Amino acid sequence: MAVKTLQDLISEGVAGRHILVRSDFNVPLNEAGEITDAGRITASLPTIKALSEAGAKVILMAHLGRPKGQVNPKFSLAPVATALTDALGQYVALAGDVVGEDAHERANGLTDGDVLLLENVRFDPRETSKDEAERGAFADQLVALAADNGAFVSDGFGVVHRAQASVYDVAQRLPHYAGGLVQKEIDVLKKVAEAPERPYVVVLGGAKVSDKLGVIQALAQKADKVIIGGGMCYTFLAAQGINVQQSLLQEEQIDKCKELLEEFGSKLVLPVDLVAAASFAADADNKIVPLTDIPEGWMSLDVGPETVKKYAEVLATAKTVFWNGPMGVFEFAAFANGTRGVAEAIINATKAGAFSVVGGGDSAAAVRQLGLDEAGFSHISTGGGASLEYLEGKTLPGVAVLES
């Protein structure tokens, strides 16, 4: 069965109807509680605007951080409500709870075109419960906010790989539709997963190799080259007998990395030099070193310039590029050059005709933080884990439920 879309819903008519929308507003905040990267909010606006302008009573559901089922002001969606108010040019009220009295009063008081944001759905432990009955009970309370003629729009791509109440169980209880953001993400990733133009190059970074082993295994079978950087590259280097000193290392994964190198050695592209640092700090003493020359007691926090050149040469041949994960600690200026260099190489490949996808998460944050041109990439995903799992070939519960 084909997934019904936002346009299908609007064509059916939404004026006067309560429409529950699962968005992804899991944005980074600084110590002062200010949003440091509003990318996910910006990406959600077209769907919200389309529903509001068509006369829907829009009720937004989302989470922020990991409050572990407890009400925690640190994870309140208040900054998101303010950002949405500014971006939409209309007041977006924040309910004082998720499915309590205030949420119901505000939902009942909505007029056509109004937008209401519920408080963090993860303040309720049932949102992420493994118990289907508990999630179902919470979903029933969320659905009750939509009254008798409601509908559900899934527009939080960053959470569709989770079978959670506001993503999965609500969709089972209401007429359900894919929002514009989710629809676009799936269309783009399907192109990469099913029919990539070759050469197809995957760039993987990030901290832990254990988080990406399945991805490397799956994508090495599909891609022509897999470039590996970030914290996870040190376990691969250790598997080659290199002493990575105090660099991030998962010793229990060394044998698995050896297996991957034996199986896919010709496809895996690893660093040839590194930026070593005396400590994990923005102002740490640092120097560029060959792989075998990390000073004793030091650590590597980025790939070196020769590595960037090597990676850029591979990327220059690509017709399809998928990138997930920074090459180093890009948050520190001294260790951002690897990520910047690889991103610029992907932009150059895109200008030369490649189809490039930035796979959400830290990669998308890096693009914005480093001041790179977002238009230089074919697509910047809003879902890191979801995009990786889709490319791995896993079933995404929040997408599968829309097909039922």
Sign of the Cα torsion 117, 122, 124, 127 reads: positive
The conformation of residue 295, written as its DSSP 8-state character, comes to P
Cβ contacts of 68 within 8 Å, gap of 6 or more:
122, 125
Q: Which residues pair with 58 in a beta bridge?
A: 19, 115
Q: Which residues pair with 275 in a beta bridge?
A: 288, 302
Q: Annotated binding residues, as ranges?
A: 24-26, 40, 63-66, 122, 162, 212, 331, 360-363
CA atoms of 132 and 137, how far apart (whole Å)? 9
Give residue 361's region: left, alpha or beta (phi > 0; psi -120 to 50). Answer: left
Q: Annotated binding residues for ATP, as ranges?
A: 212, 331, 360-363
**Cα 233 versus chain centre, distance:** 21
Options 361, 376, 384, 398, the catalytic residue:
361
Among this protein's residues, is 40 annotated catalytic? Answer: yes
Among this protein's residues, is 4 annotated catalytic? Answer: no
**Taking a C-beta distance cutoff of 8 angstroms, is the pair 318, 201 a contact?**
yes
Torsion angle of the four alpha carbons 176, 178, 180, 183, in this order, in degrees rounded to the nearest 10: -170
Distance (Å) of CA 315 to CA 222, 318, 321, 360 = 16, 5, 8, 19
Residue 279, classed as helix, strand or coil, is coil
Options 4, 173, 184, 208, the catalytic residue:
208
Q: What is the CA radius of gyration of the chain?
A: 22
CA atoms of 37 and 58, how far apart (whole Å)? 24
Give residue 281's region: left, alpha or beta (phi > 0; psi -120 to 50). Answer: beta
Q: What does the angle CA 260 – CA 266 – CA 272 come to, to the nearest 5 degrees?
A: 90
Among this protein's residues, is 398 annotated catalytic? Answer: no
Options 230, 384, 385, 398, the catalytic residue:
385
> How much helix, strand and coil, in percent to the nearest 5, is found in the chain?
45, 15, 40
Q: Annotated binding residues for substrate, as ranges?
A: 24-26, 40, 63-66, 122, 162
Options 17, 22, 40, 57, the catalytic residue:
40
Comparing C-alpha atoms, which of 135, 120, 17, 141 is closest to residue 73?
Answer: 120
Query: Where in the sequence numbering do the catalytic residues fall?
Result: 40, 208, 361, 385
